[in-house]
Amino acid sequence: MVTKAPYELPHELPHELPHEPPYPAGTALPARVAVTGAAGVLGTHLVDRLLRAGGQVSAFDLRPVPARPGVRPVTGDIRDSGALAQAFAGADAVVHCASALPSYPVADIRSIIVDGTTSVLTAARAAAVPTVVHISSTAVYGLPRQVPTPEDHPHEPVDPYSRAKAEAERVAERFRAEGMCVPVLRPKTFLGPGRMGLFDMLFQWAEEGRHFPVLGKGDVRIQMLALDDLVDAVSAVLRAPAEVACDTYNIGAAEFGTLREDFQSVLDAAGHGKRVIALPGRPAVAVLRTLERTGLSPVYGRLLSKLLADSYVSVDKARERLGFRPRMSNRDAILRTYDWWRTRRATTAPDPAGGGGRPGKGDGRTSRDPWRQGVLGLAKVFF
């Protein structure tokens, strides 16, 4: 077993971050909040935050949510109006976190994201819920030509996932135009305890004492987001008065380096002296695109393109109107997630079917799952 190498986060962050950032004055969190996708990574952390603030939560998810003080679990599909009506009854606000991932079949992506958002907003209006916070994604910009990307940048989706996210925002805008307060948050890719996906590959290779490849020189700047900072943003918009909340906001880290620097921080924390290795960009992309089409690689096309160009958004609007202050840099977020990953790995039995040595199917159906590495797992021998 590899001995855990000690390291310090730049800001010496505790494992839990219970304090709140500054918010607009004169408002408080709603007393009763319904959360869709409550069993997911974001949903779970948001429920915890609401409970710490003394709120009551209706926790809605397709997967059962354990009952506990302050939580009313409701199991159902976000396209089921009857189940949503039960979850939203008496709620002061809804936070719509439930979504599909890019790894889902195309038909499921659109049905869950677009039809699901329509069902949620329709049910919330029928239940007279005054505010519905819609968690969108910076994926709506596609591969934006302008960085930092502002909220008014055109939607230019490039794949089924980003097209569905853009269409779901149009649904939200329609309900907003009809008088409902529908704040829209567009987070960058977020990291934190519980988040797996493709980051499991980086963590696993680092732990095994391997170099890790990046496309091109790795000198592109890719903004990420700490899970705690995203929960802060949701809390801020829930506290804000309607004239401030009912708008669209980018949410991302304020401090971030290059992809090479952020990935190297994980290899340094692993303590094996390994390095990030540059791969020729265009040839590597051509190979990975072929593997994607054959189902042998978990890396999807939009991600490949993103890794070859700067990708970051402006958070000025959220800072100025919501008082949003990201507390963690990319490096903070990725190292904190790696620390959680290592602790979990040390206390959980290996999984012969999935990546990373933890139980689970590893099929990318949720953000908690390590993705199967496919043929990329075989490439480890060269690093």
End-to-end CA distance of the chain: 20
Query: What is the residue-averaged pLDDT of the chain?
Result: 84
pLDDT at residue 356 is higher than 50: no
pLDDT at position 306, please? 63
pTM: 0.85
Highest-scoring range by mean pLDDT, 18-27, 299-308, 357-366, 368-377: 299-308
Residue among 97, 94, 99 at smallest CA distance from 126: 94
Q: Bridge partners of 74?
A: 60
pLDDT in tens, 224-253: 999 999 999 999 999 999 999 999 999 999
Helical spans, DSSP H, in the chain = 41-52, 81-88, 106-110, 116-126, 160-177, 199-207, 227-239, 242-245, 259-270, 281-293, 301-306, 316-322, 330-347, 375-378
Are residues 45 and 17 in contact, defined by beta-carbon separation less than 8 angstroms? Answer: no
Distance CA 266, CA 205 (A): 10
Phi, psi of 381 (to 5 degrees): -60, -20
Kindly give the pairing relationship between strand 93-96 and strand 132-135.
Answer: parallel
pLDDT in tens, 289-346: 565 565 545 555 555 566 678 999 999 999 999 999 999 999 999 999 999 999 988 8
pLDDT in tens, 127-161: 999 999 999 999 999 989 899 999 999 999 989 99
Work out the average pLDDT over 174-202: 93
pLDDT at position 298, please? 52
Tell me the DSSP string of 267-300: HHHHTS---EEEE-HHHHHHHHHHHHHTT-----
pLDDT at residue 8 is higher than 50: no
More confident residue, 101 or 25: 101
pLDDT at position 17, please? 39
Distance CA 59, CA 326 (A): 26
Domain residue spans of the chain: 32-182, 199-221+256-311+328-382
* Record: fold of 32-182: Rossmann fold (3.40.50)
Instruction: List strands edge to edge, sheet with 132-135.
Output: 71-75, 56-61, 32-36, 93-96, 132-135, 184-187, 248-251
Residue 361: both structure tokens together: 């199917």
Are residues 13 and 229 in contact, defined by beta-carbon separation less than 8 angstroms? Answer: no
Work out the average pLDDT over 354-374: 48
Are residues 53 and 32 in contact, defined by beta-carbon separation less than 8 angstroms? Answer: no
Distance CA 82, CA 76 (A): 9
pLDDT at position 23, please? 45
pLDDT in tens, 59-118: 999 999 999 999 999 999 999 999 999 999 999 999 999 999 888 899 999 999 999 999
Distance CA 361, CA 350 (A): 12
Beta carbons within 8 Å of 382's beta carbon, 6+ residues apart: none
Position of tokens 């709603």?
30
pLDDT at position 381, please? 46
- pLDDT above 70: percentage of residues in the chain: 77
Kindly give the pairing relationship between strand 56-61 and strand 71-75.
Answer: parallel
Local structure of residue 155 (DSSP, 8 states): P
**Letter string b/e over residues 195-219, b meaning 16 or more CB atoms within 10 A of that residue's CB:** bbbbbbbbbbbbbeebbbbbbbebe
pLDDT at position 279, please? 80
